[in-house]
Structure 1
Amino acid sequence: MVKDEQTEPSENVFEERAEYLSSEELHAWTTRTHRDNQILEKLTGPGPKLLIGPRGSGKSTYLRLAYFSLLESQQALPVYVNYAKSLALEPNFHRNANALAMFRQWVLSRIVVSLNESIGKMGAVPESLQQLAGTCATLIEQVEARQAPEVPPTNLTPTSLLQQLEEWTEGIPPRRVVLLFDDAAHAFSSEQQREFFEIFTQLRSRYVSCKAAVYPGVTNYTPTFQLGHDAQLVEAWMRPDDPDYLVTMREIASRRLPVSEGREQALRDSLVDYAAVASFGLPRGFLLMLSEMLGLDEVSNLLPNKRLADEAVGNFAQSTRDVFDALALKLPRYKRFIEVGKQLQAQMIESLREFNDNRPEGEQRTAVVAIQEPVSAELGRVLAFLEYAGLVRDLRSISQGDYSYRQFWMHHAILLHENALGLGRNPSAQAAVAALTGRANASRVRRSAATLLGSNYADRCVLDLPPCERCGEPRAAAEAQYCLRCGNRLKDASVFEELLRAPIESLPLTRKKLDGILEHTEMRSVQDILLDVEQAQLRSIRFVGPVWASRITRYAEEFVYV
């Protein structure tokens, strides 16, 4: 991992989202394991696939690698489409009668524009495709700027697009087309999710197959969409108890991070492994912690040590919790479920601390809480939100005696930060790694929902529905369209617009960076950051250079769009 002492890293070294990396950067900075090759075979092969994992688990990396791999091998024509900005269309669903039709045209138009680009990389682009792609590009720009025309200039359908796909690719052997949908089925608009999966199901033929990245826990499929039948699930999330896990993460660090000779000597394997187990199988979090403990984000002169590593782990634990807390803004009707989820986190951690504190020295610690089944619909929803944020990982159910239990693996960074592993007040990096690299479910804490949350927890898991704007009457049900008292048409607030107005404290930033923004700029909302032209205000802050300015902007974009 030794690099030239005088070489400063490029900004892209710190880019956390793979969709912004080139083919050369991806191949230089990623390592391929047997598991990775199996996933890529499924993404480049025939048949519909859903690549599932929480934020930062590597879904975009796999899709981009599949895209570049197919371009190089020419075994099929890959079409990479990113739908991250789908939430920008959400306000239309509250105002325009043609919102669903416009969303459908936007989804299909993005495929056409990306197809035009992909065919251009492999040969001549048919004139009819060029013309349609120009029209589609204009529509995309208008829709995302919320300036869409009353009547869409296109009238695409999945059936017509399939037919045209086969015509446009007739001269490109072997005629097979792989559609790679990133940030698909946006988690925070149920209308968009249903429409997307209708399209996904219809875009299927002997020549065309779809692959889409989705989230665990919060992605809603149409009633007719059956997992396993309509699409095979492919898990992106690495397991920290995999025998090859630490080797893989060390290789990622070696390829990605520029380290001078002095830092190389200080960055012992134990600290790399410590960040690896704390990341809980999420490569983005691993790189973020390493760059923070090395002080690489602004090319400072920090030498890594256990104190800096603990700070990085604590910041990552908090940023992961922030993702969960932000769901109260992104899914306002589930605000009370999020409050119950915060209590559940605390109780799971306390249960693990109590269990691990009582383990004899030398015995394996656990990060798994087993909740007695049946798990109610209310608790299932809370756990799904925790899984989306990456705070827990759903393992298989087990049976013990007369009871069955559903197992949940707790995020390692949180357990380390909360000192819940029974390793003493300031355990060494080696002790923490040893405690968290054994079999994840070799032992477990068994609890009932009532023990963790109280017997009345279901009464607190109710939808928080906005009342009638005219008379203040509470809504009778989530599906109600008219007020039972005055007959006024009921409206939901726009999630997208609420997210733009959210305070910058909602972003996963360290206290130091937040204080710098609040003290030295007029920026107070997420929208203010997105409107900061060329990041001029951000870069005027002390300790915020080009890397951190780009990172803060990315956090704002991810908060709103992903």
Structure 2
Amino acid sequence: MNIEQIEEQGQLVLAAEECSPELFYVLHKFSAFEERIVRTLIAHGPVLLRGGRGSGKSTLMREAANRLNGKESTAFGIYLSLRYLPLLRESGPTYERFFCQLLTETINAALVDQGIDDINFPSVEHGGELQRALSNLANMVNKRIVLLFDDAAHLGRESASTEFFDLFRSISSRNVSCKASIYPGVTNFGKRFDVYNDATVIDVSREEGAEALAQFFSSVMEARYPTLPAKFTSSLRKNEVAAFLGKAVLGNMRAFVFACNKLSQFESSIGLPELTKCLIELCAGYFWPLLEEVQPKLGRYEPLVEPSKSLAVAIFKVCGDARSPSVIIHRDFCQHYAKPLEILEYAGFILKREASRALKKGGRGPRYAVNLANLLETTPGARLTQDLFSKWLETDRDDVAEIQRSSGAFEGIEMPSLLENRDLGILDSPVSAIAKSPAYPYGLTPKRLEVLESAGYKTIGDVVDASDAELTALPWIKEATLPKIRAVLAQAIWM
């Protein structure tokens, strides 16, 4: 694969789940902090990997599975993405049977991939049988079993989370280690699972120091965008731009790729005016549309997106006036607006850096870093100067804005009533909702939407339920384009 092909694929591949094995090693790089996470995923013991959208959870889990199945490994790793609609719709014994069937098929495929053709993992129907079968498998292969469950728990899908964590606890044993990725805001782990005693929780958030960010994101830029640094003007150094963009998106890899895509579109040289345009477009074309995209996926928490937007506006107004990329929010506000703040953290607007810190006028609260795209939008002048570039890149931790208990920043932001027994609204949304747009940059074209609607596929749920054979039988939808359609559907339904 030449440089042009690598750069083209690097711009298109946004999720580790969609990355081919050969391209995975070319595009993905790991910092020292992430290497420690991978080693924890490989080691014995249950682990929950927590982070927002695009923070790198899937990449870390896939890398752990790859290393577990290396030639010198003494463990057998099984990576399983739980992006399956029945796991969202079913509960009780039906959920358990489907989960067991899915894991059985994945394990048997992994055994074939490892050249272990003389062992067949049996079909089971509940957690007790699954636990015994996994222990027997560990004895037969003479290796420790490590199960890596990706996309295991989401904000707003509490019923499915309860079912999963009951199984997570049931199948864990001396020979079987379970790992799972979850999102901020997941609080319902079932009656049997104690998150603080039954697992180690690791937050996926990259270091905010300029040197660490420069080292990591420079290597990512070299891998995905090898020709981009040549466009930078003499006043901008590659390491500084990479570190600045990494800090701008709070270390979020998916947002970093979007930012680099924007920069790649400039035909002329790239200086501070182009970086300004990039951040403003990132704000309007990535962060705000992401809240619109996530709203119909939140189930009973769907009404909380509106107060989340209002909180974001208020937070960035305070930070913009102070020209500070982080803020301490009084803990009373954090308790009252807990879920909206978690939604903002999921979407990459803010990122909790410290759990508790003293405010100047009394009280304590967590310190949040804010993304620089939205911050620039609310900063007087909305223009990135050399002084602002240096200040935001090298900001001292004492330079922090504050929202105190007496502050009127959140005045008038009310918490609405939650919806009870609310199914995912996205499933009933029209197919046109996944047209190519800022919310779905790789969405479906008007022609394919017309074909689907003419064939009777009116809602997103209808298309997801259709088989591959049914979809490829339609005009303009062939086997080569089907994976892209499935990827858009996955983006629409899953967090």
Q: Compared with structure 1, are the counterparts of its residues 353 and 534 closer, same or farther at alpha carbon in structure 2 (3 Å cutoff)? A: farther
Q: CA deviation at 1:239?
A: 3.1
Match of 1:317 in 2: 283
Task: Please give the alpha-carbon distance, in whole angstroms, between the structure 1 residues aligned to 2:74 and 2:11.
Answer: 30
Letter in 1 for 2:283: A
Is 2:463 aligned against 1:463? no
Identical counterparts, % of pairs: 20
Aligned counterparts, 1:367-386, within 5 A: 367-375=325-333, 377-386=335-344
Unmatched 5+ stretches in structure 1: 94-98, 133-154, 357-365, 466-477, 479-490, 540-545
Aligned counterparts, 1:303-452, within 5 A: 304=270, 306-318=272-284, 319-356=286-323, 366-375=324-333, 377-394=335-352, 395-400=354-359, 402-416=362-376, 418-420=377-379, 424-428=381-385, 431-440=388-397, 442-448=399-405, 451-452=408-409
- Partner SS, residue 81 of structure 1: strand
Match of 1:41 in 2: 39
Letter in 2 for 1:158: G
Task: Please give the alpha-carbon distance, in whole angstroms, between the structure 2 residues aligned to 1:350 and 1:227.
Answer: 36
Task: Please give the alpha-carbon distance, in whole angstroms, between the structure 2 residues aligned to 1:301 and 1:339.
Answer: 38
Task: Please give the alpha-carbon distance, in whole angstroms, between the structure 2 residues aligned to 1:171 and 1:434.
Answer: 59
> 1:503 aligned to 413, 433, 445, which one?
433
Match of 2:260 in 1: 290
Task: Please give the alpha-carbon distance, in whole angstroms, between the structure 1 residues aligned to 2:103 and 2:23.
Answer: 25
Q: CA deviation at 1:276?
A: 2.5
Q: Compared with structure 1, are the counterparts of its residues 29 and 497 closer, same or farther at alpha carbon in structure 2 (3 Å cutoff)? A: closer
Q: Compared with structure 1, are the counterparts of its residues 429 and 529 closer, same or farther at alpha carbon in structure 2 (3 Å cutoff)? A: farther
Task: Please give the alpha-carbon distance, in whole angstroms, between the structure 2 residues aligned to 1:61 and 1:538.
Answer: 29
Task: Please give the alpha-carbon distance, in whole angstroms, between the structure 2 residues aligned to 1:538 and 1:272.
Answer: 39
Is 2:98 aligned against 1:106? yes
- Partner SS, residue 334 of structure 1: helix
Aligned counterparts, 1:174-189, within 5 A: 175-189=143-157
| Contact residue 396 and residue 406 of structure 1 kept, 8 A | yes
Task: Please give the alpha-carbon distance, in whole angstroms, between the structure 1 residues aligned to 2:408 and 2:309.
Answer: 15
Q: CA deviation at 1:224?
A: 4.0
Is 2:125 aligned against 1:156? yes
Q: Compared with structure 1, are the counterparts of its residues 521 and 232 closer, same or farther at alpha carbon in structure 2 (3 Å cutoff)? A: closer
Q: Compared with structure 1, are the counterparts of its residues 346 and 176 closer, same or farther at alpha carbon in structure 2 (3 Å cutoff)? A: same
Match of 1:82 in 2: 81
| Contact residue 368 and residue 410 of structure 1 kept, 8 A | yes
> 2:181 aligned to 213, 225, 242, which one?
213
Match of 1:172 in 2: 141
Structure 1 residues 191-227: Cα deviation after superposition (integer angstroms, max 9, x where no partner): 1011011111112111111110100124532244323
Q: CA deviation at 1:369?
A: 2.3
Task: Please give the alpha-carbon distance, in whole angstroms, between the structure 2 residues aligned to 1:289 and 1:495.
Answer: 30
Task: Please give the alpha-carbon distance, in whole angstroms, between the structure 1 residues aligned to 2:24 and 2:472.
Answer: 28
Between 1 and 2, higher relative CO (CA 8 Å, sep ≥ 6) is seen in: 1
| Contact residue 321 and residue 391 of structure 1 kept, 8 A | no
Match of 1:542 in 2: none
Q: CA deviation at 1:274?
A: 3.9
Q: CA deviation at 1:433?
A: 5.0
Letter in 1 for 2:318: S
| Contact residue 240 and residue 437 of structure 1 kept, 8 A | no
- Partner SS, residue 92 of structure 2: helix
Q: CA deviation at 1:536?
A: 7.8
Task: Please give the alpha-carbon distance, in whole angstroms, between the structure 2 residues aligned to 1:311 and 1:286.
Answer: 15
Letter in 2 for 1:370: I
Task: Please give the alpha-carbon distance, in whole angstroms, between the structure 2 residues aligned to 1:194 and 1:60.
Answer: 21
Q: CA deviation at 1:34?
A: 1.8
| Contact residue 328 and residue 403 of structure 2 kept, 8 A | yes
Letter in 2 for 1:80: Y
| Contact residue 46 and residue 200 of structure 2 kept, 8 A | yes
Is 2:48 aligned against 1:118? no
Aligned counterparts, 1:499-538, within 5 A: 499=429, 503-504=433-434, 508-509=438-439, 517=445, 522=450, 527=460
Q: Compared with structure 1, are the counterparts of its residues 506 and 352 closer, same or farther at alpha carbon in structure 2 (3 Å cutoff)? A: farther
Q: CA deviation at 1:33?
A: 2.5
Q: CA deviation at 1:440?
A: 4.6
Q: CA deviation at 1:164?
A: 1.2
Normalised to the residue count of structure 2, the TM-score between the two structures is 0.83
Match of 2:490 in 1: 557
Task: Please give the alpha-carbon distance, in whole angstroms, between the structure 2 residues aligned to 1:437 and 1:12.
Answer: 28
- RMSD across aligned C-alpha pairs, in angstroms? 3.7
Letter in 1 for 2:216: T
- Partner SS, residue 339 of structure 1: helix
Q: CA deviation at 1:78?
A: 0.1
- Partner SS, residue 448 of structure 1: coil
Task: Please give the alpha-carbon distance, in whole angstroms, between the structure 1 residues aligned to 2:25 and 2:416.
Answer: 47
| Contact residue 263 and residue 303 of structure 1 kept, 8 A | yes
Match of 1:233 in 2: 201
Task: Please give the alpha-carbon distance, in whole angstroms, between the structure 2 residues aligned to 1:553 and 1:307.
Answer: 38
Letter in 2 for 1:410: V
Q: CA deviation at 1:345?
A: 0.9
Q: CA deviation at 1:27?
A: 2.5
Query: How many positions carry a matched residue from both structures?
Result: 477
Structure 1 residues 502-561: Cα deviation after superposition (integer angstroms, max 9, x where no partner): 7247964489x88x956996389873997875998699xxxxxx99x9778634421212
Q: CA deviation at 1:161?
A: 1.4
Task: Please give the alpha-carbon distance, in whole angstroms, between the structure 1 residues aligned to 2:493 and 2:196.
Answer: 31
| Contact residue 499 and residue 559 of structure 1 kept, 8 A | no
Task: Please give the alpha-carbon distance, in whole angstroms, between the structure 2 residues aligned to 1:111 and 1:293.
Answer: 42
Unmatched 5+ stretches in structure 2: none
Match of 2:61 in 1: 63
Q: CA deviation at 1:271?
A: 4.1
Structure 1 residues 231-256: Cα deviation after superposition (integer angstroms, max 9, x where no partner): 11112221333631111100111122
Task: Please give the alpha-carbon distance, in whole angstroms, between the structure 2 residues aligned to 1:179 and 1:354.
Answer: 47
Structure 1 residues 389-434: Cα deviation after superposition (integer angstroms, max 9, x where no partner): 2211123211246422232222222112x142x6x54224674254
Q: CA deviation at 1:449?
A: 7.6
Q: CA deviation at 1:51?
A: 0.7
| Contact residue 51 and residue 213 of structure 1 kept, 8 A | yes
| Contact residue 325 and residue 392 of structure 2 kept, 8 A | no
| Contact residue 43 and residue 66 of structure 1 kept, 8 A | yes
Choose 1 or 2 for highest CA Rg.
Answer: 1
Structure 1 residues 67-95: Cα deviation after superposition (integer angstroms, max 9, x where no partner): 1111113220001011022x4554x45xx
Match of 2:48 in 1: 50
Task: Please give the alpha-carbon distance, in whole angstroms, between the structure 1 residues aligned to 2:57 and 2:201.
Answer: 12
Task: Please give the alpha-carbon distance, in whole angstroms, between the structure 1 residues aligned to 2:159 and 2:296.
Answer: 18
Task: Please give the alpha-carbon distance, in whole angstroms, between the structure 2 residues aligned to 1:441 and 1:101.
Answer: 53
| Contact residue 228 and residue 264 of structure 2 kept, 8 A | no
Q: Compared with structure 1, are the counterparts of its residues 529 and 197 closer, same or farther at alpha carbon in structure 2 (3 Å cutoff)? A: closer
Q: Compared with structure 1, are the counterparts of its residues 82 and 433 closer, same or farther at alpha carbon in structure 2 (3 Å cutoff)? A: farther
| Contact residue 329 and residue 498 of structure 1 kept, 8 A | no
Q: CA deviation at 1:260?
A: 7.5
| Contact residue 500 and residue 526 of structure 1 kept, 8 A | yes
